Amino acid sequence: MLLNENSIAPNIPDCIDQLPNNSIQVVKNYIGGQFVEPLQKKYLINRNPATNEILAYIPRSMDEDVNLAVKAAKKAHLEGVWRRKTEQERSNVLMKIAAKLQENLDVLAALESNDNGKPVSLAKNIDIPRAVANFQFFAGAILHDSTGCHTTGMNSLNYTLRRPIGFNQQTFFFCTQKILNFCIGICGLITPWNLPLYLLTWKVAPALACGNTVVAKCSELTPLTCNFLAQICDQVEELPKGVINFVYGYGRECGNAIVSHPDVNLISFTGGTQTGRVVGSIASQGFKKLSLELGGKNSLLIMDDCNIDTAVTLAKRACFTNQGEICLCASRVLVQESIYDEFVDKFKKIVQSIKIGDPKDGNSEMGPLISLAHREKIEFYVELAKHEGGQILTGGERPIFENQEHLKQGAFYKPTVIANLSPTSRTSTEEIFGPVVVVHKFKTDEEALEIANNVKYGLCASLCTTNLNRAHKMSENLEVGIVWINTWLNRDLRTPFGGVKQSGVGREGGKYSLEFYSEEKNVCISLM
Ligand code: NAD
The active-site residue, picked from 112, 293, 376, 379, is 293
pLDDT per residue as tens digits for the range 83-132: 999 999 999 999 999 999 999 999 999 999 999 999 999 999 999 999 99
pLDDT in tens, 299-346: 999 999 999 999 999 999 999 999 999 999 999 999 999 999 999 999
327 is catalytic: yes
Instruction: Tell how far the Cα of 84 is from the centroid of ligand 1, in angstroms.
Output: 33
Kindly report the three-state secondary structure assignment for every residue of 462-473. EEECCCHHHHHH
DSSP 8-state secondary structure symbol assigned to residue 363: T
Pairing outcome for strands 416-419 and 460-464: unpaired
Q: What is the pLDDT at residue 432?
A: 97
Give me ligand 1 centre to Cα 271, in Å.
2
> Does the beta carbon of 270 lie inside 6 Å of ligand 1?
yes
Ligand 1 pocket member 241 (CB < 6 A):
no
Please confirm, yes or no, whether 397 is among the known catalytic residues: no
Q: Is the pLDDT of residue 2 over 60?
A: no
Q: What percent of the chain has pLDDT over 90?
A: 93
287 burial class (0-12, 13-18, 19+ CB within 10 angstroms)? exposed
Q: What is the pLDDT, as a whole number, of residue 173? A: 59
CB 112 within 8 A of CB 118: yes
**What confidence score (pLDDT) does residue 6 get?**
56
Say how far apart CA 471 and CA 465 lie, in whole Å: 7
Regarding the beta carbon of 371 and ligand 1, being less than 6 Å apart is answered: no
Confidence of residue 177 (pLDDT cuts 50, 70, 90): low
67-85 residue pLDDT tens:
999 999 999 999 999 999 9
| Cβ atoms of residues 14 and 44 within 8 Å | yes
Question: Which atom, in ligand 1's list, is nearest to the CA of 218?
Answer: 9
Mean pLDDT, rounded, for 205-232:
98
Determine whether the shortest distance from the Cβ of 260 to ligand 1 is under 6 A.
no
Q: Decide if pLDDT at 7 tops 80.
A: no
Residue 528 reports pLDDT greater than 70: yes
- For 152-165, what is each residue's pLDDT tens digit? 998 999 999 999 99
Spot the catalytic one: 210, 327, 329, 460.
327
CB crowding 377-387: b at 16 or more within 10 Å, else e: bbbbbbebbbe
Q: What is the pLDDT of residue 403?
A: 87
Ligand 1, atom 34, lies closest to the CA of 295
Please give the distance, rounded to the nearest whole angstrom, from the Cα atom of residue 143 to the centre of ligand 1: 31
- Residue 11 pLDDT: 83
pTM, entire model: 0.97
The pLDDT of residue 480 is: 98
Q: What is the mean pLDDT of the chain?
A: 95
Q: Grade residue 178 by pLDDT with cuts at 50, 70 and 90.
A: low
So what's the pLDDT on residue 10?
74
At a CB cut-off of 8 Å and minimum separation 6, what does 224 contact?
27, 46, 55, 56, 111, 112, 114, 115, 196
Residue 180 has pLDDT above 90, yes or no: no
Atom of ligand 1 nearest to the CA of 499: 41
Partner residues linked to 445 by β-bridges:
none
Asked if 123 and 198 touch (Cβ cutoff 8 Å), the reply is no
Q: What is the CA radius of gyration of the chain?
A: 24
| DSSP-H helix ranges across 273-394 | 273-285, 308-320, 337-352, 372-387
pLDDT score, position 166: 86
Whole-number percent of the chain with pLDDT over 70: 95
- Does position 355 have pLDDT exceeding 90, yes or no? yes
What does 414-426 look like in DSSP terms, one character per residue? Answer: --EEEES--TTSH
Type of residue at 141: A
Q: What is the pLDDT of residues 389-431, one digit of tens each?
A: 999 999 999 999 988 999 999 999 999 999 999 999 999 999 9
Q: Whole-angstrom Cα distance, residue 381 to residue 3? A: 8
Find the length of the chain. Answer: 528
Report the distance separating Cα 347 and Cα 140, nearest Å: 41
> Do 497 and 485 contact (CB within 8 A), yes or no?
no
What pLDDT, on a 0 to 100 scale, did the predictor assign at position 182? 59
Q: Is the per-residue pLDDT at 168 higher than 80?
A: no
| pLDDT at res. 5 | 54
